[in-house]
């Protein structure tokens, strides 16, 4: 988890606006290190006087469906985890989300520019980045590469391109 984003979220969770509140949080981080990350956030929230109600749902699509069903049904969660971009912006446009406002924190100065367009609708933030994932990952089978005679693995995009993208 990117320390800058975790710091931002924990800063938001530690503000007076969140103190003494109960927050039910829908997410799909149900196992291992993801569950430990959620627990760390819950601990910060609790340390600042809040009561965290964990609502883990297996699978990102199922968690999103749970949150949307609750919003439409009139019992929205305090927070839920979505990917940056499409879902957040569509839900904001439809009036299903409230903008995030944190007194004394300049989100434009804090959130990297590359993420801002996927988190803002009509110049207001509807999400805060928590972690960074990407669709441009490359996975390789060491066994298959060894069988193909590959002994040196690319370590960056340039070396990957030179070796594999001719």
pLDDT of residue 103: 80
My answer on whether 152 and 90 are in the same domain is no
The mean of the pLDDT values for the chain is: 81
Q: Looking at the predicted structure, is the pLDDT value of residue 18 above 80?
A: no
My answer on whether 88 and 47 are in the same domain is yes
My answer on whether 160 and 80 are in the same domain is no
My answer on whether 38 and 111 are in the same domain is yes
Q: In total, how many domains does the chain have?
A: 2
* CATH code of the domain in which 84 resides: 3.40.190.10
For residue 139, give its domain range. 135-166
Residue 103: inside a domain: yes
pLDDT of residue 20: 55
Residue 130: inside a domain: no
52-80 tens-digit pLDDT: 999 999 998 999 899 999 999 999 888 88
Q: What is the pLDDT averaged over residues 98-104? A: 84
My answer on whether 10 and 85 are in the same domain is yes
| b/e map 54-90, b = 16+ CB within 10 Å | bbbbeeeeebbebbbebbeeeebbbbbbbebeebbbe
Tell me, yes or no, if the pTM score tops 0.75. no
My answer on whether 81 and 145 are in the same domain is no
My answer on whether 91 and 154 are in the same domain is no
Distance CA 6, CA 2 (A): 6
pLDDT of residue 127: 87
């Amino acid at each position: 988890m990117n320390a800058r984003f975790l710091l931002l979220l924990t800063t938001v969770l530690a503000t007076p606006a969140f103190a003494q509140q109960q927050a039910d949080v829908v997410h799909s981080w149900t196992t291992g290190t993801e569950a430990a990350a959620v627990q760390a956030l819950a601990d910060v929230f609790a340390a600042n006087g809040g009561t965290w109600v964990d609502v883990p749902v297996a699978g990102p699509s199922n968690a999103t469906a749970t949150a949307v069903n609750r919003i439409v049904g009139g019992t929205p969660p305090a927070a839920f985890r979505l990917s940056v971009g499409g879902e957040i912006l569509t839900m904001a446009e439809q009036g299903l989300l409230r903008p995030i406002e944190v007194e004394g924190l300049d989100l434009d100065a804090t959130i990297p520019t590359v993420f801002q367009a996927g988190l803002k609708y009509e110049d207001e933030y509807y999400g805060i980045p928590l972690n960074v994932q990407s669709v441009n990952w490359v996975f390789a089978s060491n066994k298959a590469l060894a069988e193909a005679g590959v002994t040196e693995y690319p370590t960056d995009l340039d070396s990957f391109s030179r070796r594999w993208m001719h």
